[in-house]
Structure 1
Amino acid sequence: MTVKKPAKSSLAAATCGLLAAGAALGAAELAAALSKPQTGPLLAVGSAFIDLTPAWLKDFAIRTFGGNDKNVLLLVLVIVVAAFAAAIGLAARRYPRLAGGGLISLGLVAAVAALSRPGSAPLDVLPSLLAAAVGASALHLMHRAWLRTFAPHLDADRPAPSGPDRPALAAGPVTDRRELLRTAATVLGFAAVAGGLGRVVSATRDTAAAGVRLVLPRPSDPAPPLPVGSDLHLPGLGPFTTPSKDFYRVDTALVVPRVPHQDWVLRIHGLVDRPVELTFDDILARPLVERDITMTCVSNEVGGPYVGHARWLGVDLADLLRQAGVRADADQILSRSADGWTCGTPVQAVLDGRDALLAVGMNGEALPPAHGFPARMIVPGLYGYVSATKWVTEIKLTRFADERAYWTSRGWAEHAPVKTASRIEMPKPFARLAAGPATIAGTAWAQHRGVAAVEVRVDGGPWRQARLAPSPNPDTWRQWHLDWQATPGDHRLEVRATDAVGHTQPQPRVAPFPDGATGWHSVLVTVL
């Protein structure tokens, strides 16, 4: 009789663990799709990890991976689970009960993570508990098939497992590897079917909730046309209005919440005289206003990409608050999204006359799901983490002294006005240019104050005034450009902006934490 090699035995055992984990995740995916997608084990654990992430690690992830940070986290989670599952499969060769307990422990950890999410309910543990039960059962089946294939031929230094399995196996026939393959195919098929059905259910639900066919009413107060020349249309310079598909996305949601607009309700309560509940139809029945507003993420590094401009459609947020009757002692709007994330906005920033919106549209269409459908907050002049709650379902009037929002409880500033900033977009860093006439161009922003001037200098020389394109209002960014006679050699280009109240960007680089980055943006180029 041919002796099976230990390496083949180990590979088969590790594969048993991987297949058991796959069956567990497939069952959990289907269960979560039928209830709440975010309660799936991977998403629950990933969301809990995000909640525990320190500010420096968050900044590193955004800086390194950009909009792919959540995909990277999910990939890391899958790799960790796969490694753990393979180790469990190997451990099952001698300690099958302990290995099964390991899979169950993973399910329990995921169940605890699901319960830790804001707004969780007891039933949210079901996908994780089902995953634990299915995984342990699949591992048991795979382990028995593995034993019947490899246990009679184990090396002397790898004794067969002890316990109740061994006598039963000794009494039965010894089969070849076809039984193991059949069992593996069954478990793999179950994982694929369950996971596939879960994906189909989720995709069907997502499509129904996306609002792609929703036609919004025309605004009663439309935004005026953009001033002629506000978009310079220079090669290498982004458009004045950022297409919705290219607009930056920074949030804590591992998967985009899908909220059917037919079921959406906004609750306004707390320190108000008249609590209010509004449906999506109630919002659309109110006068809609359209505004051009540029938004910036507090995580944006100097010269970074997390800033964008759009034309937003919505209702006046201040009017909604006045309808509820804000009490004099309220100084914070604590808004909550459908996934439980919270945001603290100064009441005064909404009631001071600026164009604060409860937005339902973006660039002429309903909000894309990734940007907050069915409704989100927009408060110009403030970084997004204190002003721009997506998928908003609750607005609570309260006090900063009494309640803290998601990021402010982690050390970020409570009041975070957008800082005056500018960036060079052309030429690109390390570009190689031909000597002669060249154009330096970019954007500058100082929302709710406006940009008054942009200056550029080359190699530390004198500052030169760039030409500013017109802008529709102080809540938008401005494009700028400067003609430059490029001479051969390596050059350092620097830019700084001055806002309409006379504040000029400081030179020293300051990291985003805790209230936004500052510093001059610079690029190095080579002229041939």
Structure 2
Amino acid sequence: MSSLTRRSFLKATSALAFLAAWPGSACSGLLDRILRPQQARGTPSITPNEEFYVTSYRSPPTIRIGEWALLVTGLVERPITLTYDQLLEKPTVSSIVTLECVGNTVAGEFISTAKWEGISLGALLDEAGANGSAYDVVFKAADGFSDSIRFQRAMAGDVLIAHRMNGVPLPQGHGFPARVVVPGHYGMKSVQWLTEIEVVNYDYKGYYQQRGWTDDASVKTMSRIDLPGHGTTIPGLHHRVQGLAFAGTRGIRLVEISIDNGEHWTAATLEPPSSPYAWNFWSYDWAVPAPGRYTMLVRATDGTGMVQTSLEQDSAPDGATGLHEITVTISV
């Protein structure tokens, strides 16, 4: 532990608090990855399925596809029962969406992006004749988990019932045979192993809301430095700094870098996002003034003009905040 920086220590203690409050280790492998040194590397725009972070409050359930069905119930005129084949026969839409675990730490690894394919939740609810005065849409899973979103959010047109992930059927560990994908909200709203969608006229409290976690679950603006890695020594006086930023459906307007521990800030170069619901990559060509030790910070401004907060807060109950900080040594 002596090699951890203050911010790394805060990340570790935040993770401990999160795991203690969140039974079942919702972000698989979280503490191990924080305390075990990781090799710095760039981030691919689309996360391979085998590297996509895993969310589960229990072990993935075993589902026999011939016995599985998706029900649409509650305040609807025409309840629906869909078999897997019937689900696949419906018109398919696709979207590239970034999901982040609410238990992710500042600059943590539990944020990933995939191309999701499936059906529109809003279209399915229209087909069922959902009551427009409803309050919540509840998602129930085969493992006993449940969560909800507001009815208006469900009808916005961008929420998917996904059955494919990066060109293949959903892997078992990511919700096979169907899951919800809710852009702009922490991953617990994107319920996996979906079995029932219920339209209700009250404020439904899901598994984690009953335990004091956020109900709205809108993601907070985050940014991180991927390259160079913290604690590294790199030769030369010209370097490209790289990383990513994410603010859900609000988008990213600006990313800034400080190489003097926050005294001065300089705009980085933003790449266009792959979709309105995906993370942004950024880069900064750093002309180092002289060899030495530097503390580098990054911050993002979302599409509404709100600057990422520097206030350090752990993940409980509604997502971590703070700025990512690294220290590097420049040699010649």
What interval of TM-score do these two structures reach, taking the shorter chain for normalisation? 0.7 to 0.9
Matches within 5 A, 1:106-505: 236-253=41-58, 255-353=59-157, 355-385=158-188, 387-401=189-203, 403-459=204-260, 460-486=262-288, 487-505=290-308
CA deviation map 1:433-482 (0-9, x unaligned): 11310111101111212111110011233211100111132201011000
1:66 aligns with 2:27: no
Could you tell me how far 1:389 is from its partner in structure 2? Answer: 0.6
- What amino acid does structure 1 have at the position aligned with 2:124? L
Aligned to 1:523: 326
Query: Could you say what secondary structure the match of 2:297 adopts?
Result: strand
Separation (CA, whole Å) in 1 of partners of 2:177 and 2:298: 39
The 1:444/1:349 distance shift into structure 2, 3 A limit, reads same
Relative distance call for 1:308 and 1:64 in structure 2 (3 A) is closer
User: How far off is 1:62 after superposition?
Assistant: 6.7
Per the normalisation by structure 1, the TM-score is 0.56
SS at match of 2:153: helix
SS of 2:325 mapped into structure 1: strand
Query: 1:470/1:256 Cα in 2 relative to 1: closer, same or farther (>3 Å)?
Result: same
**One-letter code aligned to 1:502:** G
1:323, distance to aligned residue in structure 2 (A): 1.3
Q: Which amino acid aligns with 1:242?
A: T
Secondary structure of 1:448's match? helix
Bigger strand fraction = 2
| Cα distance in 2, alignment partners of residues 521 and 67 from structure 1 | 18
Structure possessing the higher relative contact order (Cα contacts under 8 Å, 6 or more residues apart):
2
- Could you tell me how far 1:370 is from its partner in structure 2? 0.3
Asked which structure has the greater CA Rg, the reply is 1
1:506 pairs with 309, 320, 327, which one? Answer: 309
**Corresponding letter in the other structure for 1:420:** T
User: Which residue identity does 2:42 align to in structure 1?
Assistant: L
Q: Tell me which amino acid in the other structure corresponds to 1:445.
A: F
2-side partners of 1:64 and 1:339: how far apart?
16
8 Å CA contact retained: 2:27, 2:56: no
Partner letter of residue 456 of structure 1? I
* 8 A Cα contact 2:27 2:110, kept in partner: no
CA distance in structure 1 between the partners assigned to 2:224 and 2:22 by the alignment:
19
The structure-2 alpha-carbon separation of the partners of 1:64 and 1:344, relative to structure 1 and needing over 3 Å to count, comes to closer
In the TM superposition, residue 68 of structure 1 has moved relative to its aligned partner by 6.8
DSSP-derived class of the 1:320 partner: helix
2:278 is paired with a residue whose SS is coil
Task: Judging by fraction of residues, say which structure has more helix.
Answer: 1
User: Is the Cα contact below 8 Å between 2:75 and 2:198 reproduced in 1?
Assistant: yes
CA distance in 2, matches of 1:445, 1:382: 12
**1:279 is aligned with what amino acid?**
T
* Aligned-partner Cα distance in 2 for 1:318–1:333: 11
Report the secondary structure of 2:248's partner residue: coil
The CA distance in 2 between the partners of 1:269 and 1:244, in whole Å, is 31
Contact 1:424 1:443 in 2 (8 A): yes
Deviation of the 1:67 alpha carbon: 8.0
Partner AA of 1:480 in structure 2: W
Q: CA RMSD in A?
A: 2.2
- Structure 1 distance, partners of 2:96, 2:124, is 20
Give me the whole-angstrom Cα distance separating, in 2, the residues matched to 1:451 and 1:499. Answer: 4
Gaps (5+ residues) in structure 1?
Answer: 1-52, 70-234
Q: Which amino acid aligns with 1:424?
A: I
The alignment of Structure 1 onto Structure 2 pairs a total of residues equal to 307
Q: CA deviation at 1:395?
A: 1.0
Amino acid at match of 2:80: V
| Residue aligned with 2:219, SS | coil
- The answer as to whether partners of 1:379 and 1:388 remain within 8 angstroms in 2 is yes
Which digits, 9 at most, give the CA deviation of each residue in 1:36-59, with x for residues without a partner? Answer: xxxxxxxxxxxxxxxxx9956046
In structure 2, C-alpha distance between the alignment counterparts of 1:59 and 1:452, rounded to whole Å: 33
8 Å CA contact 1:418, 1:446 repeated in 2: yes
Say if 1:524 and 1:293 are closer, same or farther in 2 by CA, change over 3 A: same
Q: What is the rounded CA distance, in whole Å, between the counterparts of 2:207 and 2:228 in structure 1? A: 38
Percent identity of equivalent pairs = 36
